[in-house]
Amino acid sequence: MTPVLEIRRASKSFGSHRVLHEVSFGVDAGEVHALVGENGAGKSTLMNIISGIHRRDAGEILLNGESIDPTDPWQARQLGISVVFQELSLTPNMTVAQNIFVRREPTSALGLVHWRQLNDDARALFERIGIDISPTELVGNYSVGIQQIIEIAKAISFDAKVLIMDEPTSALSESEVDRLFSIIAELKQQGVAIVFISHKLGEVLRIADRVSVLRDGEMVGVVNPSHSNQDEIIHMMVGRSLGDLYPAKGVVSDEILLEVEGLSHPPLFRDISFSLRRGEILGIAGLVGAGRTEVARAIFGADRYSRGSVKLAGIKLDLKSPRQAIEKGIVYLTEDRKVMGLFLSMTMRDNIVSSALARFTDALGLLKHRAIVNESLRAIKQNDIRPRDDLLSMTSLSGGNQQKSLLAKCLSANPKVLIADEPTRGVDVGAKVKIHQALRDLANRGIGVIVISSELPEVLGLSDRVVVFREGHVSAVLDGDNIAQADVMRYAVQ
């Protein structure tokens, strides 16, 4: 059987930098073929070559055995190759149907749109993938998860023979991931060839029929998920295994730094109690929606709570704003770096010192430029942010380096307690390792670190103790070196 889409020995260089070297890859009809690799391994470049954003230097792209040469994503879509990009490409103030069929609306000879036909077409499309979304609703009124599904509906509305999804689950909750996977199963049934690009190996193993691993621009190998495991794939991706991924645990003192007692704010969370010791990494596990972020924001003073108390080094806090929390030494690394954490259009330098400007201003309120430069260069070195140019705008950094900058920003406030919410979301394995190491270094310096993460291996690999949240309350506090994933999961769901 010929694959629907086949890449033969594709190569691509940018200047002297070789990004892809003789990569071959194929996907069959009705198959989910996952593509994994660290950031910079060449996944995006491969996808950009297929969709016509970049021109390959050498090699061939075959669709149903015939050589093709798309020059832009639009043309690739016409040919039957649809890419769902990581960033949503929908227009929030237009309706679902208008978004899906933009530029392809059914029209009269004069170009006037047949609105009823348009909405019927959208409805038929949703029926095909078995979902219930109103075509006439504004896209902006739907959650990001549903928008992602609309995006996929748009992609397949081009009669896609090949559907390429780049990190489709990065913004989805567990239940939305399930929904996405059932849509993928439906499309498989219909013979669509699917390329699934993801950092989340658990999901990859769940959905993929084959997994191809890219490393440094070369295809390292193709594995069959039923005969493989995460450890093996990670090993292929980075050349090291899971065991080495997490830093060695440290020595935790007995001194209690932060004590949360009976914190409640129904219906979001109730009766939350736990303590954090100096030098400890405390993991908070639980499903999305279990109240983890809400509790963190309450401790940080960003949201109110109705009952309970938070003590820092034995002194009761009554924080009314994040500003007061930062002054007391509690900082919060937000889970959404683009929306709440970073000033994307500003430079790395401005971002790094933005939480601690008080430290860098003189009595008149003027900025101490030399001190700012020193601090930003120090932070860049300490956190290994690349490239080492603190006057670059944040937008020009990769996800991993943005995340490291965000961490640097939090640290420049000299915290006693750091709350890191999903600190490695959407970053590649290499950056992940560095962030984990940085968090452990902080703990070793006597800072108390709280890590909230939806990735169980991360919580377990990193934490000294794990607090499990379920539906707004603490269902277990687990201690020790050998906490099993299955145990945490049981407390999180039952």
Partner 1 sequence: MHDAQILKSKQSDGVGLLQRFSLETLQIGALALAIVVFAIIVQLNFPVFLSLPNINVMIVNFLPEAIIALGMTIVIITAGIDLSVAGIYPFSAIIVGLLLLAGAPIPLAIIITLAAGAFIGAINAFISNTFRVHPFIATLAILLILRGVNIIITGGSPVSGFPEAFAIVGQRGIDFGTFLLRYSVFIWLALALLIGYLLRNHRFWRLSYFIGGNRRSARMSGVNVERYLYFVYMLSGALAAVAGVIVASQFNAASNSYGQNLELRVITAVVIGGADLNGGAGSVLGSMLGVLFIAMIYNAFAMSGISTYWQDVVVGAMLLASILMGEVLKRRRAN
Among 287, 296, 288, 271, CA closest to 417:
296
Nearer to partner 1, 360 or 469 (CB): 469
The nearest distance, CB 291 to partner 1, in angstroms, is 9
Cβ contacts of 350 within 8 Å, gap of 6 or more: 343
Query: Can you tell me whether residue 317 is helix, strand or coil?
Result: strand
Residues 17/27, Cβ–Cβ less than 8 Å: no
Considering beta carbons, is residue 116 or 370 the nearer one to partner 1? 116
**Least distance CB 177 / partner 1 (angstroms):** 12
Q: How far is the CB of 347 from partner 1 (least distance, A)?
A: 19
* Contact set with partner 1 (CB under 8 A): 72-74, 77, 85, 87-94, 98-99, 102-103, 105, 107, 110-113, 133-134, 137-138, 141-146, 173, 175-176, 288-289, 292-294, 335
Residue 381, CB-side half-sphere exposure with 13 Å CA sphere: 6
Q: Which is nearer to partner 1, 209 or 471 (CB)?
A: 471
Handedness of CA 344, 348, 350, 351 (dihedral sign): positive
Instruction: Give CA–CA dist 215/231, Å, rounded.
Output: 16
Name which of 89 and 264 has its Cβ closer to partner 1.
89
> For the chain, how many residues are written?
494
Please, which residue, 175 or 395, has the CB nearer to partner 1? 175
Q: Which is nearer to partner 1, 52 or 217 (CB)?
A: 52
> Which CB atom, from 183 or from 312, has the smaller least distance to partner 1?
183
Write the CB contacts of 114 (distance below 8 Å, at least 6 apart in sequence).
105, 106, 107, 108
248 DSSP 8-state letter:
P
Tell me how far, at minimum, the Cβ of 340 lies from partner 1, in Å: 11
DSSP strand pairing (269-277 vs 315-317): unpaired
Query: In terms of CB distance, is 90 or 431 closer to partner 1?
Result: 90
Please work out, in degrees rounded to the nearest 5, the angle formed at the alpha carbon of residue 386 by the alpha carbons of 382 and 387.
125
Measured from the CB of residue 88, what is the shortest distance to partner 1 in angstroms?
Answer: 8
Residues with Cβ within 8 Å of residue 287, at least 6 apart in sequence: 174, 454, 470, 492, 493
By the 8 A CB rule, do 250 and 444 touch? yes
Least Å distance between CB 215 and partner 1? 29
Q: Which is nearer to partner 1, 107 or 485 (CB)?
A: 107
Least separation in angstroms between CB 145 and partner 1: 6
First and final C-alpha spacing in the chain: 46
**What is the closest distance, in whole angstroms, from the C-beta atom of residue 72 to partner 1 in the complex?**
7
The phi-psi region of residue 200 (left if phi > 0; otherwise alpha if psi is between -120 and 50; otherwise beta) is: beta
Smallest distance, partner 1 to C-beta of residue 130, A: 17
